[in-house]
Amino acid sequence: MVYEFDSEIKLLEGKMKWKVVYFPYSSKEEFGTNGKVPVEISIDGHEFEHTLLPSKNGHYFVYNEWIRRAVHKELGDTLHVILRKSEGKREVVVPEAIANTLAAHDMLSTFLSQPDYIKREQINHIELAKKEETRNNRIMALVQKLNA
């Protein structure tokens, strides 16, 4: 089923001051769970894989840096969202430059043995660097971390 709605970028209540977008329906009724829900979303025409996360105020997805860079909107702005539950298994795609550097330092298999969410977080940290030098420094920091 496809859900289409407009929603405002809000701050998540609680300790984590994330910018989030709330799903305006009951995840329990729509997806049969109060837990995490893997989803595919289109925001103002930009496609992303994401996860709906539970909170006391309903399910939400994080308005992360990847989305912000694509849609150029900030806290309080409204987004047009098209969302559907992701049915297939998600694969972590390791960018070639990262894979090559990890392989050159015999760390690729160590990296790949980590849980998917950690791999995604590490890749995102590297890929969000604006300068090539920063990206390379982050890859080398990851090599050192994996080697520890």
In this prediction, the residues of the chain whose per-residue pLDDT falls under 70 are none
Question: What pLDDT is recorded for position 118?
Answer: 87
- Residue 23: what pLDDT? 97
For the chain, where do the domains classified as CATH 2.40.30.100 start and end?
A: 2-85
**Exposure string (b/e) for 75-96, b if CB count within 10 Å is 16 or more?**
eeeebebebeeeeeeeeeebee
Can you name the CATH fold of 2-85? Elongation Factor Tu (Ef-tu); domain 3 (2.40.30)
Q: Kindly state the tokens that stand for 118.
A: 């950690």
Residues 9 and 81 sit within 8 Å (Cβ to Cβ): no
Q: What is the rounded distance in angstroms from the CA atom of residue 94 to the CA atom of residue 98?
A: 7
Residues 6+ apart with CB under 8 A from 74: 9, 68
Backbone φ and ψ for 16, nearest 5 degrees, come out as: -85, 115
User: Using an 8 Å Cβ cutoff, are 18 and 11 in contact?
Assistant: yes
For the record, the structure tokens of 11 come out as 């701050």
The alpha carbon dihedral of 36, 14, 49, 23 has a sign of positive
pLDDT at 112: 94
